[in-house]
Amino acid sequence: MGDPSDSRPAHPLISVVVPCYNEEAVIGVTHPRLSAAMAALPVDYELVYVSDGSRDRTLGLLRDIQKADPHVRVVGFSRNFGHQIAVTAGVDHAKGDAIAIIDADLQDPPELIGDMIAKWREGYDVVYGKRISRAGESAFKLATARWFYRLLNRLSDTVIPLDTGDFRLIDRQVADAMREMPEHDRFLRGMVAWLGFRQYALPYSRDARVAGETKYPLRRMIAFATDGILSFSISPLRVAVWLGVITAGFAIVGIVYALFIRLFSHEWVSGWASLLFAILLMGGVQLIMLGIVGEYVGRIYREGKKRPLYLVRERFGFDDNNG
């Protein structure tokens, strides 16, 4: 690695972004552990908590924490905008020379941020956690996640590292570059991979949630996976071409065969069943492809409206409002 000593400040400010959605069960545990991990490091730090439209006591708890701890900033959304947007808002509000992103539920050990900072000081711009094991997840989630990341890499031109989440440390330069990407369908781990820079994979074991429930039920996991694929690949659109070539090929063979029988024998090809199946098959394929095209068109429509990514209802602990 180049010479990091010129580019990295001797006593940097590190921001830690924590997205929180209905996390009243964990905030009281997370904050002390995160603070202790950061206070042990030879850096200045700020903790940027983003309450993503929480409907429980999360925002109130964060407000109390902020009153007692000058390291804490709190951003409260006007409603639930989703995990990836909450992280984006945290990065927008962070002032650090480097920014760490960590979930509120302590699945990712905050103590690892120190190791990430060490790698950052060596000159890496992105240090992402790579899960070598995951505790407390269902076999179904593990299998689908594994399968998903491999499929995504086959489809996408950007190489998106396998088995990584959003737990990572990014340099200020990377954060600024990310802020230049205004897309609404945000798949941050892919966006950071797309940015390039010097990236380092830090292996770690993912723990189970300390308390509370996952905010990613199956429905949201599917939506998230769809975002990942559609934001990083247009291959699904090409499926239509291949299906068209294959079915047209079959059709030509069928036509030649039917003509041949009719012209050179006294028989003819009969049967309404094969006809019906062919029609149903083509109808089904066309509807599926129309749906895929529609997904992309819908996304273009959504981007075209140029709405803001999120709306902040309240902020505490920032210089411009002392909360």
Q: Which of 14, 15, 19, 117 binds ligand UDP (CB under 6 A)?
A: 19
CB-based contacts of 169, cutoff 8 Å, min separation 6? 14, 98, 99, 100, 101, 113, 116, 117, 119, 120, 126, 127, 128
Can you spell out the DSSP letters for 252-321?
HHHHHHHHHHHHHSS-----HHHHHHHHHHHHHHHHHHHHHHHHHHHHHHHHHTT--S--EEEEESBTTB
Query: Alpha-carbon distance 148 to 222, whole Å?
Result: 10
Q: Closest Cα partner for 126 from 136, 138, 137, 116?
A: 116
Q: Which of 185, 216, 244, 312 binds ligand UDP (CB under 6 A)?
A: 216
Nearer to ligand UDP, 223 or 259 (CB): 223
Alpha-helical (H) ranges within 163-217 are: 172-179, 188-195
Query: Alpha-carbon distance 26 to 97, whole Å?
Result: 28
103 binds ligand UDP, rule: CB under 6 A: yes
Cβ contact 129:167 at 8 Å: yes
Q: Which of 12, 14, 21, 106 binds ligand UDP (CB under 6 A)?
A: 21
- The residues in 71-90 that bind ligand UDP, with binding defined as CB under 6 A, are 80, 82-83, 86
47 binds ligand UDP, rule: CB under 6 A: no
Residue 173's binding partner out of ligand UDP, Mg ion, none, with CB under 5 to 8 Å set by partner kind:
none
> Considering the complex, what minimum distance in angstroms separates the CB of residue 27 from Mg ion?
14
Please give the structure tokens belonging to residue 184: 């609404």
Nearer to ligand UDP, 62 or 229 (CB): 62
Q: Which of 24, 105, 125, 163 binds ligand UDP (CB under 6 A)?
A: 105
CA 105 and chain centroid, separation: 17
Nearer to Mg ion, 66 or 107 (CB): 107
Size of site (CB under 6 A) for ligand UDP: 16
> Considering the complex, what minimum distance in angstroms separates the CB of residue 255 from ligand UDP?
52
> Considering the complex, what minimum distance in angstroms separates the CB of residue 33 from ligand UDP?
14
Sheet harboring 72-77: ordered strands across? 199-206, 126-134, 164-171, 98-101, 13-20, 44-51, 72-77, 312-316
Nearer to ligand UDP, 105 or 171 (CB): 105
Nearer to Mg ion, 97 or 105 (CB): 105
Q: Which residues pair with 15 in a beta bridge?
A: 46, 99
> Considering the complex, what minimum distance in angstroms separates the CB of residue 230 from ligand UDP?
19
Contact window for Mg ion (CB under 5 A) among 84-92, 101-109, 113-121, 279-287:
101-109
171 binds ligand UDP, rule: CB under 6 A: no
Q: Which of 15, 35, 54, 107 binds Mg ion (CB under 5 A)?
A: 107
Please give the structure tokens belonging to residue 206: 């993912």
Contact window for Mg ion (CB under 5 A) among 3-11, 30-38, 95-103, 229-237:
95-103
Q: Footprint of ligand UDP on this chain (CB under 6 A)? A: 19-21, 23, 52, 80, 82-83, 86, 103-105, 107, 214-216
